[in-house]
Structure 1
Amino acid sequence: MAHVGNGAGSLDDEDQFEDAFDRIPVASKMDLKTSLEECAIALNLVLNNKFSEALDLLKPWARESMYHALGYSSILVMQAAMTFEHKDIQAAMGTIKEALQTCQRFRKRNTVVESISSLVSKQADSLREEEMHAEICYAECLLQKATLTFVQDENMISFIKGGIKVRTSYQIYKECQHVLNMTQYVASNSDAFHQFEGGVKLGIGSFNLMLSLLPARILRLLEFIGFSGNRDFGLSQLREGAASHSLRSILCVLTLLLYHTYVTLILGAGEGDLVEAEALLEPYQEKFPNGSIILFYTARIALLKGNFEKAQLTFQQCIASQHEWKQIHHVCYWELMWAHCFQQEWLQAYRYADLLWRESRWSKAIYMYQKAAILSMMPEEDVKNTGENVGELFRQVEGLKQRLAGKSIPTEKFAVRKSRRYSCSTPVKLVVPALEMMYVWNGFTIVGKRADATEGLLITIEKAEEQLSNDPRPSEYHPDDQCLVQMLKGLCLKHLGRLLQAELCFTQVLSIEKRIRYDHYLVPYTLYELGLLYKQQGDVAKAIRHIENAKLNYKDYSMESRLHFRIHAALSNLKGSPVNTP
């Protein structure tokens, strides 16, 4: 059985794998070593866009081998999470239940979690390799089931059930780390042991990293039931896992890439380490030059660096690289839509928003709002040529919103509230709605990498500012619109290095706070941006004061949780202290 790439074997075995696509061996028995080898081949198939072949390889042993069960369910869960189709979610849920049963058969009768103290003190030496791996596989399967539980039903009971599964998984990882520490001297030369170690580092690293992102008020509650998180420790565990030659090294890499290219931007101030992201991706770009997942992250990094042209070309390559999973096309459409928005190429951006609306089930409300918002930025003649009615599109948004765990999704809720201006008997047009949504997704941080694009946005915003100033019959939304324009103008000026002018824009928003009637989110968000501006000027004390003002003195506004995530990241950085303790 051939070893593969970053899987069970060494890197030198990669060439063996490249010639093995057409002659994948069929195992006659399935011990732990063989299952790890086959799953390494399956993982390489996925990275080479051969999703069906990977499933065909894993399925025959999915009820006999814990790793085949985990691999098979992982692919189906990933597909279900991307399609959001009910039939895919149901199929994945059925598979994950079977995978849990398969893993359970290999677990010690008194599981690691149930009797860890006795295992560590008396039996750590004798704990069988299969039992160690069964714990890790079981924990991963539980996380997958929790993910599906969250999206399968929209009631609070499902949300609680998912939370319990997450907690059980977290406890298993913690105890496996304990076992790992106690048994390292016993089995440190075993390949199976290194695979177990890779699983622990992936789980412990991911949990610590993601928990460290949570605002203090949420984390205090989670710490009460046994959760804790440390960002630096989580990153170090994932980096060690990524540098290893275990089956899960690529999963550690993908987790770090997700953190640096998405999480830090949406839930932070955009402080992802793109140098590290590029270094992590480079070896895989050489091995899988046409792999859609690798191409996607290559394009995403180019976008974040402000190289919009390269990003657009690479996203197109990603789309052309495979046609089996249309869902990967959809995430590329989303990125291409924003790449064109950043350059104010509104017609091209509209076409991708329209493709998403027609093909993807992720969030019909957001896609409809994006279409309408982008069309609002275009000349009337161009809008007519599309055959769309902007007001009608906005009016459809509210009927498309979804619920998760019984609650509306915050970004959809925001889009619905903004769209209601078109439901009145006398509709009141939104001001630069596409730029407002760009801010919601922290897009100004990306545009700020390009002075030419930022100058272009500033010109558009100043035109809107002038129109508002010259409006002969200002509506009840007028103060809100003025504040939005001033905040966005301040952001452009900040990224252009015109810091004093940016400060004036932000303080102007704060000066008319009491006149705002609907968009109350603008004040705490402006305080946060003003805090970041003072940080840029080197006045840390002033920065902390303004950001804590936003945190402590405002509540019940749109996208409040998103701002609290960003505030948490900013204050942790400003105060120079670890996020939490492990």
Structure 2
Amino acid sequence: MEIFKFITFGRESIKDIEHDKEKERAERMDLATGIDEAKLAVNLFMNNRFEEARVLMKPWARESFYHALGHGVFQFLEAVMTFEQQHIESACQALEQSVEVCNKFRKKSSMYESLGKIVRRPNYDLLREEEIHAELCYAECLLLRAVLTFVEDENLISFVKGGLKMRSCLNAYKECWHILKHRNWGDSKHKSHFESGVRMGVGAYNLMISMLPARIMKLLEFIGFSGNRETGLHQLDIGVNLRGSLRQVLCAMVLLGYHLFVSYVLGYGDGNLDLCEKILKQQLANYPDGVWFNFFQGRLEYVKGHVDECIEWYTKAWQSQSEWVQFHHLCYWELMWANCFKQNWYASRDFADLLLHESRWSRAIYGYQKASFMCMIYERLGSEDRQELLQLFKDIPTWKQRIAGKSIPMEKFAMKKCERFFAQGNRLILPAIELLYLWNGFKVLGKQMDLVQPLHLLVEKHMKMLEKDKDKDDTFYTDNLCLLLLLKGMCLQYMHSPMQAEDSFRKVISYEQDLVSDLYLPPYATYELGINLWAQGKRDQAVSTLENAKNNYKGYALESRLHFRIHSALADLKSFRKADSSSQGTLNSLNDNNLPF
């Protein structure tokens, strides 16, 4: 018994000693050290040394708010890249812990002080710098946690919880904005780190809200959310020019993501490619082998239509690291479409196959993409490949999933096309080009005539084949004709034949009542007609046509996707028409003393 007591006492003593050491290390982890180690973690991460960055953050994730935020960010990235439930749960726990750590360091306001903020501005000079940075880290943790809440469970409660966290996040960022603008910073060494974080959060928030369709914007404005694209870009531009600041590189990534991805997938206009070139030149000098900036350089070449160059950069990014294979999937996705531009269907099929077997994001979408590329070379497939194609179309519906209680629109589209494949006698008309259009690939493809012309010939070839079989009993003849007309119109638009393109779009719209399945074609053709009229200088007609596409069609496939594009096009058109009268208002909206929410 005495020996047992001694052993137990010894163990407790060892634990106490270890606890004292941890406490001593935590006390040495002051704000300056926390920021320095966070900067080191960012540099490690950008240089593909992901595990080293994670290891640097984790030991002090319960004591230091910058380490807590860093640890939460790495868990968040793993969750959104794998989309596996276990990683989502781990990320949620890590971010909840991060919020708790930040709360320990935030300024605690009494009820009297909270009420006092309503009638007078607090004296932010009384706040310690640890409290200021803890407030910013708290806002960032809440933002990440809110995003995960939306996908954590498949019920309405998740949306309510996520909305509440977003509101708390917004309030925290408002407080940080007031601190930035009204505190006497003096010779503070840490102001740039705080400022870059505020600019990044405010900028990203404004961009995110401004991209939403008008009907959603009205609802969000009713409950207190609002956003402005110019304000968001302005804030991020300031943040990216705060050289040496902790979040400067993150501001750069948000800007690159917006100009090179979001504006092409959801919007109408091109991104600011000159700005992207400038940012990438700076960042590649710092991180020449970093997977992210090699990837963004590939995307820059991609959106310019430089297909061979983009394939080289994507391949370099893909092969630059093997620690996080999820990065490979981003490269596979882009390489799949780059080869599609070149009508290299075998390579596109192979990259879709890699995504199907390695990525867990959406097997249904990856499977349908692979099947679409195989349909493009159906006549050249052997018997085994044809059998694989048939089995693929049977399996795709079984892979359908729900995220946040909702079906993924593109998965629902794929389900319908699988049914169509069998209903049409095991065939589809140019399914890969249809997907290319739906993913807004013509905006890129159209920049290179040597890519558009072969595609136009392919569409014309299938139109002749369809016309040849016109007399056969084909339920979907009109649907297939309208798809080909839409694709033909897109080719003609980028081949500088606007009148011929307009004729193709109007024909699609005229067949609306005869369509059996592809009800999305008339509203999309109406949208393209509006863009066509805009290009011809008929701006009033363009606005009314786009409004028609927005208001007079309901319940078709991929409706939200089109509404994002219409919203972007109308915003650009209307701002263009009112440029002179609104110039002063735009300058006022970017006044750095205004609250940018």
State the TM-score, normalized to the length of structure 2: 0.89
Select the residue among 407, 412, 432 that pairs with 1:434: 432
How far apart, in 2, do the equivalents of 1:105 and 1:316 lie? 45
446-455 vs 26-35, greater mean Cα deviation: 26-35
> Per the alignment, do residues 114 and 559 of structure 1 end up closer, same or farther by CA in structure 2, a change over 3 Å counting?
farther
Query: Which one-letter code corresponds to 1:569 in the other structure?
Result: S
1:483 match? 482
1:515 match? 514
2:258 match? 259
Give, in angstroms, the shift of residue 387 of structure 1.
Answer: 6.3
Give, in angstroms, the shift of residue 182 of structure 1.
Answer: 1.3
> Per the alignment, do residues 241 and 457 of structure 1 end up closer, same or farther by CA in structure 2, a change over 3 Å counting?
same
2:230 match? 232
Runs of 4 or more, structure 1, over 4 Å off, are: 111-116, 383-388, 577-582
- Answering whether residue 342 of structure 2 is matched by residue 353 of structure 1, we say no
1:452 match? 450
8 A contact 1:527–1:547 mirrored in 2: yes
Give, in angstroms, the shift of residue 507 of structure 1.
Answer: 1.1
How far apart, in 1, do the equivalents of 2:417 and 2:53 lie? 45
1:495 match? 494
1:303 match? 302
1:325 match? 324
How far apart, in 2, do the equivalents of 1:484 and 1:396 lie? 25
> Per the alignment, do residues 99 and 383 of structure 1 end up closer, same or farther by CA in structure 2, a change over 3 Å counting?
farther
347-356 vs 462-471, greater mean Cα deviation: 462-471
Q: CA-to-partner distance for each residue in 1:321-354, whole Å, 9 max, x for gaps?
A: 1000000001100000000011100001000000
Any residues of structure 2 matched to 1:335-350 within 5 Å, and which?
Answer: 335-350=334-349
Query: Which one-letter code corresponds to 1:64 in the other structure?
Result: E
- Answering whether residue 61 of structure 2 is matched by residue 90 of structure 1, we say no
273-282 vs 364-373, greater mean Cα deviation: 273-282
Give, in angstroms, the shift of residue 389 of structure 1.
Answer: 2.9
2:135 match? 135
- Answering whether residue 109 of structure 2 is matched by residue 110 of structure 1, we say yes
Select the residue among 223, 240, 252 that pairs with 2:221: 223
How far apart, in 2, do the equivalents of 1:336 and 1:456 lie? 19
1:173 match? 173
How far apart, in 2, do the equivalents of 1:256 and 1:457 lie? 32
2:188 match? 190
- Answering whether residue 43 of structure 2 is matched by residue 68 of structure 1, we say no
Give, in angstroms, the shift of residue 456 of structure 1.
Answer: 1.1
1:571 match? 570
Q: CA-to-partner distance for each residue in 1:257-296, whole Å, 9 max, x for gaps?
A: 1101111111111421111111111111111110001110
Q: CA-to-partner distance for each residue in 1:83-134, whole Å, 9 max, x for gaps?
A: 1122222222221111111111011112899568279634222012111111
> Per the alignment, do residues 158 and 70 of structure 1 end up closer, same or farther by CA in structure 2, a change over 3 Å counting?
same
2:11 match? none
Count of matched residue pairs: 554
Q: Aligned with 2:28: secondary structure?
A: coil
How far apart, in 2, do the equivalents of 1:158 and 1:444 lie? 37
How far apart, in 2, do the equivalents of 1:276 and 1:419 lie? 42
How far apart, in 2, do the equivalents of 1:370 and 1:388 lie? 17
How far apart, in 2, do the equivalents of 1:383 and 1:223 lie? 57
2:388 match? 389
Query: Which one-letter code corresponds to 1:468 in the other structure?
Result: L
Pair member with larger Rg: 2
Q: CA-to-partner distance for each residue in 1:210-250, whole Å, 9 max, x for gaps?
A: 11111111011101111011111110000000100311111
- Please tell me the root mean square deviation across aligned C-alpha atoms, in Å: 2.0
List runs of 5+ in structure 1 lacking aligned partners.
1-25
1:289 match? 288
Query: Which one-letter code corresponds to 1:66 in the other structure?
Result: F
How far apart, in 2, do the equivalents of 1:453 and 1:199 lie? 42
How far apart, in 1, do the equivalents of 2:381 and 2:421 lie? 20
2:523 match? 524
104-113 vs 93-102, greater mean Cα deviation: 104-113
> Per the alignment, do residues 80 and 496 of structure 1 end up closer, same or farther by CA in structure 2, a change over 3 Å counting?
same
List runs of 5+ in structure 2 lacking aligned partners.
1-24, 590-595
Q: Aligned with 2:381: secondary structure?
A: helix
Q: CA-to-partner distance for each residue in 1:167-187, whole Å, 9 max, x for gaps?
A: 21112112221222111xx10
Q: CA-to-partner distance for each residue in 1:434-476, whole Å, 9 max, x for gaps?
A: 1111111100111111111111111111111111111141421
How far apart, in 2, do the equivalents of 1:99 and 1:549 lie? 48
1:150 match? 150
230-239 vs 187-196, greater mean Cα deviation: 187-196
State the TM-score, normalized to the length of structure 1: 0.92
Select the residue among 465, 476, 480 that pairs with 2:463: 465
Give, in angstroms, the shift of residue 163 of structure 1.
Answer: 2.0
How far apart, in 2, do the equivalents of 1:40 and 1:552 lie? 49
How far apart, in 1, do the equivalents of 2:572 and 2:439 lie? 20
1:81 match? 80
Q: Aligned with 1:191: secondary structure?
A: coil
8 A contact 1:375–1:383 mirrored in 2: no
2:3 match? none
8 A contact 1:337–1:350 mirrored in 2: yes
How far apart, in 1, do the equivalents of 2:136 and 2:163 lie? 18
How far apart, in 2, do the equivalents of 1:293 and 1:375 lie? 31
Q: CA-to-partner distance for each residue in 1:379-410, whole Å, 9 max, x for gaps?
A: 42335464653232122221111112211111
Query: Which one-letter code corresponds to 1:530 in the other structure?
Result: L
